[in-house]
Amino acid sequence: MDPYFQHPERLWEPLRRLRNLGHPWCVEFFAAPGGGGGAAIDVPEDLRDVVHVRPPLPHPAALAEMQAMGALLVLGWEARGADATVAGKLYEYAGAGRPILVCAPAHYEARTLAEGCGLGLGAWTAEEIADSLTALETFIVSHESRLGLARESTARSLAALLASAASAPRP
């Protein structure tokens, strides 16, 4: 998390709404505190029972943790040009096979990718986020699309494209 460009506070109101409706969600952020790329997440007092900030995990442990989560979160970067940014974490999340919530405006590439590939849902406003969290409870991730994003699959597609280009008749 980058505390200057990603804003977990977008979740506070939706989490309150869902808790008041009897659908509480628990959110866990695995983030290094402070500067140097670490996140300073100020969790409101009334949400400290459902929002937890944990220290980062070693990569193998993080991958295992992802597979155990009900859903995974991508916070869109709120910076100029961020609409074309797709964090590598989105691909790790796809590999985990868990539904993904991408908190970003509709035109952001990460959101378009997640929604278009059947990996999860996108939301931006508090109402959209609350509705998406509810919908994620029964969301089924597209296994075929998920496999299509794997490195092996994309490498095969690229190799086939290059082979086709190399064997095409030249004018």
pLDDT by residue (tens digit) across 77-132? 777 666 667 777 888 888 888 999 999 999 998 899 999 989 999 999 999 999 99
Query: Cα–chain-centroid distance for residue 21?
Result: 24
Whether 1 is in a domain gets the answer no
- How many Å is the maximal CA-CA distance in the chain? 69
Taking alpha carbons only, the member of 135, 133, 73, 134 closest to residue 104 is 73
CB 138 within 8 A of CB 112: no
Q: How many domains does the chain have?
A: 1
CB 8 within 8 A of CB 103: no
What domain range includes position 159? 8-167
Whether 89 is in a domain gets the answer yes
What is the value of pTM for the model shown? 0.80
CA distances (Å), 29 to each of 38, 51, 130, 150, in order?
11, 8, 18, 25
For residue 28, what is the domain's CATH number?
Answer: 3.40.50
Distance CA 3, CA 78 (A): 10
Whether 134 is in a domain gets the answer yes
Taking alpha carbons only, the member of 124, 129, 88, 91 closest to residue 106 is 124
Distance CA 70, CA 99 (A): 7
The reported pLDDT for the residue numbered 32 is 65
Whether 2 is in a domain gets the answer no
Whether 151 is in a domain gets the answer yes
Whether 3 is in a domain gets the answer no
CB atoms within 10 A of CB 140: 7
The reported pLDDT for the residue numbered 167 is 81
Average predicted confidence (pLDDT) for the chain: 84
- Residue 137's Cβ-count burial label (10 Å; 0-12, 13-18, 19+) is exposed
